[in-house]
Structure 1
């Protein structure tokens, strides 16, 4: 989802904007998603450039904060 939002999580982690443990936590939140099929369909669109994570995204707050840091 980060890539679809134009985020480079690796660069943000290296730059200190995203703690490495937060990436692990984000992955765990994804694995507990109640809508993985919706997310998979959304992310399957190869030219997707989303402006915000979907409302159901368990990492919405994290991704919104990272977008604010970049923007």
Structure 2
């Protein structure tokens, strides 16, 4: 059986996507870290989850089309639960 390598997207792109989705929800990830609500490890894990997400195109389109009006991420967002907790 062949091993299927997990394809991870560009770390810089996914760092900014993670921050942008959080910002669209009114969550400041840096402030959450400063207040002890989010560890550096948790933040790194969020970016890693984003890197393997199959919904990057949908997320990017959502961010480009009024994400700030929604206040919540896409239903398929891997960060949905943690970002809603941080709101």
TM-score, normalising length: structure 2: 0.69
Counterpart in 2 of 1:3? 23
Distance 1:23 1:5 in 2: 16
Deviations 1:42-68 (Å, cap 9, x if unpaired)?
Answer: 11236724321111001111111111x
Gaps of 5+ in 1: none
Q: Which runs of 4+ in 1 moved over 3 A?
A: none
User: For the aligned residues, what is the CA RMSD?
Assistant: 1.5
- Structure with the larger helix share: 2
1:63–1:47 Cα change, 3 Å: closer
TM-score, normalising length: structure 1: 0.83
Counterpart in 2 of 1:16? 36
1:30–1:5 Cα change, 3 Å: same
Distance 2:56 2:67 in 1: 19
Q: What is the total number of aligned residue pairs between the two structures?
A: 67
Distance 2:56 2:74 in 1: 12
The structure with the largest alpha-carbon Rg is 2
